[in-house]
C-alpha cells in the first residue's frame, strides 16, 4: 500500500527545504498529495512585565512574528509553483501547544515528514512537535537531518529490531518503503545473554519479510561502551543505508515526553533519515 497523503510541517523554507525534497522523493511518480503545513508560533507575554507595557510588548512581538510569517508564506508559495507541486496550509499555535496541535493534523495523513529537531533552528519547538506526532498521532514520522542532500530514501533500508511492539508497528508502517527497497538489513543490537533471544526474534522477522516477498539479511551488533543508538546508526552508516526503520520508544507523561535512548539519538544526532512509529 502506497502513501496517499504526506504532511510536511515547516517553520521556514530555508531550514525546512530538505523536508520538501524528501517528500518529493518519497512520492516519486505516484499521485501523492503533499501538504506543506506552515506553522506560525505565537509570541507569549513576558512574566517579567505586567500591565500596559506588557500588552504593548506582546503586540509588537506578535507583529514582528506575523511579518516574518507572511514573508515565509510568500517564499513557500513561490516554491510551490516549481517542478514539485504541493498544497499549502497554515497553522497558528503557541509553542506549548504545538505538539498537540500537530499530532491532530498528522492523524489526517499517511506519513508526516519533518526536520530532525537536534541542531535545527527553533529546536525546542521542533522537538515538541516531533514528540507530539510520534507519541500521539498514531501515524509514522519520518525525520530528515538538517542540511540533508540525499537522492534516495528507502533504496537500502536498515530495520532496527528488538522484537518489541513499537518495532513491529514501525515495520508495518514502513511497508511502502520495504516494497520498493533494493536491500533490507535487519539489525539486532544485543549483548550477552540477550543475544540468543535476539537471534530467535531476528530470524523470525526475516522469515516474516520473506513470506511477503522481501529478501532481508540479518545482522547482530553490540559493543561494550557504545549506546544502542550509536551501534544501530553506526551499522546503518557502514551499510550505506538511506533509511533506518525503528520503533519510537518513550511515553508522554505529565505533558512531557519521557524519551528512550535510541529515540533520543534519532531526534538529536543521526545523519540518516529515520522512520519511527510508536
Instruction: Write the pLDDT tens digit of every residue in 238-257.
Output: 999 999 999 998 866 544 45
Co-location of 25 and 128 in the same domain: yes
Residue 150 within any structural domain of the chain: no
DSSP state of 93: E
Whether residues 28 and 139 share a domain: the answer is yes
pLDDT of amino acid 180: 95
Residues 109 and 162 occupy one common structural domain: no
Residue 223: pLDDT band (50, 70, 90) is: low
Whether residue 111 lies inside any domain: the answer is: yes
Segment 38-88, tens digit of pLDDT: 999 998 766 556 667 767 777 777 788 889 999 999 999 999 987 778 999
Instruction: Supply the CATH number for residue 114's domain.
Output: 3.40.50.620
Cβ atoms 113, 144 nearer than 8 A: yes
Do 207 and 107 lie in a common domain? no
Report the C-alpha gap between 44 and 27 in whole angstroms: 37
Same domain, 166 and 90: no
Domain membership of residue 149 (yes or no) is no
The answer on pLDDT for 127 being more than 90 is: yes
How far apart, in whole angstroms, are the C-alpha atoms of residue 70 and residue 183?
43
Domain boundary among 112, 144, 176: 144
Closest-CA residue to 190 (of 235, 249, 157): 235
233: left (phi over 0), alpha (psi -120 to 50) or beta: alpha
Q: Does residue 160 share a domain with residue 122? A: no
231 and 165 belong to one structural domain: yes
Task: Mean pLDDT check: name the lowest of 20-24, 54-58, 219-223, 230-234.
Answer: 54-58
Among 166, 131, 161, 176, CA closest to 25: 176
Domain encompassing residue 206: 156-277
Count of CB atoms situated within 10 Å of the CB of 211: 7
Has residue 130 been placed in a domain?
Answer: yes
Distance CA 34, CA 30 (A): 11
Tell which of 116, 144, 172 closes a domain: 144
The residue written with cell numbers 529515520 in the block is 274
For 42-86, give the DSSP string: PP---TT--HHHHHHHHHHHHHHHHHHHHHHHHHHHHHHTSSS--
Q: Are residues 176 and 46 in the same domain?
A: no
Per the domain annotation, does 258 fall within a domain? yes
Do residue 204 and residue 174 come from a single domain? yes
Per-residue cell: 84? 514539485
Does 137 lie in the same domain as 15?
Answer: yes
Shared domain check, 126 and 202: no
pTM, two decimal places? 0.91
Decide which of 144, 165, 180 is a domain's last residue.
144
Strand spans (E) along the chain:
5-10, 33-41, 87-93, 111-115, 141-144, 156-160, 183-189, 217-221, 243-247, 250-253, 256-259, 274-277
Task: Answer whether residue 263 is part of any domain.
Answer: yes
Helix (H, G, I), strand (E, B) or coil at 180: coil
Instruction: Report pLDDT digits (tens) over 132-152.
Output: 999 999 999 999 999 999 999
In a shared domain, residues 129 and 204 = no
Give me the number of domains the chain comprises: 2
Grid coordinates belonging to 127: 522537538
Domain membership of residue 151 (yes or no) is no
Which residue's entry shows cell 519533518?
114
Above 60 in pLDDT, residue 224?
Answer: no
Kindly state whether residue 112 falls inside one of the protein's structural domains: yes
Amino acid at each position: 500500500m502506497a502513501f496517499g497523503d504526506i504532511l510536511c510541517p515547516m517553520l521556514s523554507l530555508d531550514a525546512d527545504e530538505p523536508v520538501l525534497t524528501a517528500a518529493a522523493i518519497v512520492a516519486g511518480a505516484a499521485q501523492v498529495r503533499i501538504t506543506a503545513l506552515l506553522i506560525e508560533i505565537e509570541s507569549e507575554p513576558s512574566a517579567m512585565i505586567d500591565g500596559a507595557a506588557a500588552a504593548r510588548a506582546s503586540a509588537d512581538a506578535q507583529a514582528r512574528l506575523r511579518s516574518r510569517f507572511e514573508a515565509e508564506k510568500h517564499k513557500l508559495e513561490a516554491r510551490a509553483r516549481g517542478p514539485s507541486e504541493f498544497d499549502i496550509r497554515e497553522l497558528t499555535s503557541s509553542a506549548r501547544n504545538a505538539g498537540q496541535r500537530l499530532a491532530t493534523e498528522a492523524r489526517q495523513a499517511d506519513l508526516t515528514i519533518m526536520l530532525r529537531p537536534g541542531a535545527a533552528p527553533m529546536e525546542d519547538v521542533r522537538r515538541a512537535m516531533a514528540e507530539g506526532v510520534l507519541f500521539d498521532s498514531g501515524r509514522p514520522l519520518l525525520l530528515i537531518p538538517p542540511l540533508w542532500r540525499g537522492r534516495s530514501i528507502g533504496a537500502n533500508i536498515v530495520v532496527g529490531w528488538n522484537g518489541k511492539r513499537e518495532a513491529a508497528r514501525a515495520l508495518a508502517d514502513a511497508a511502502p518503503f520495504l516494497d520498493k527497497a533494493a536491500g533490507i538489513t535487519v539489525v539486532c543490537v544485543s549483548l550477552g545473554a540477550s543475544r540468543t533471544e535476539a537471534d530467535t526474534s531476528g530470524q523470525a522477522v526475516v522469515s516474516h519479510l520473506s513470506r511477503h516477498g522481501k529478501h532481508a539479511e540479518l545482522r547482530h551488533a553490540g559493543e561494550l561502551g557504545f549506546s544502542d543508538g550509536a551501534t544501530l546508526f553506526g551499522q546503518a552508516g557502514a551499510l550505506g543505508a538511506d533509511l533506518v526503520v525503528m520503533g519510537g520508544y518513550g511515553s508522554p507523561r505529565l505533558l512531557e515526553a519521557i524519551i528512550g535512548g535510541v529515540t533520543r539519538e534519532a531526534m538529536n544526532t543521526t545523519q540518516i533519515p529515520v522512520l519511527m512509529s510508536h
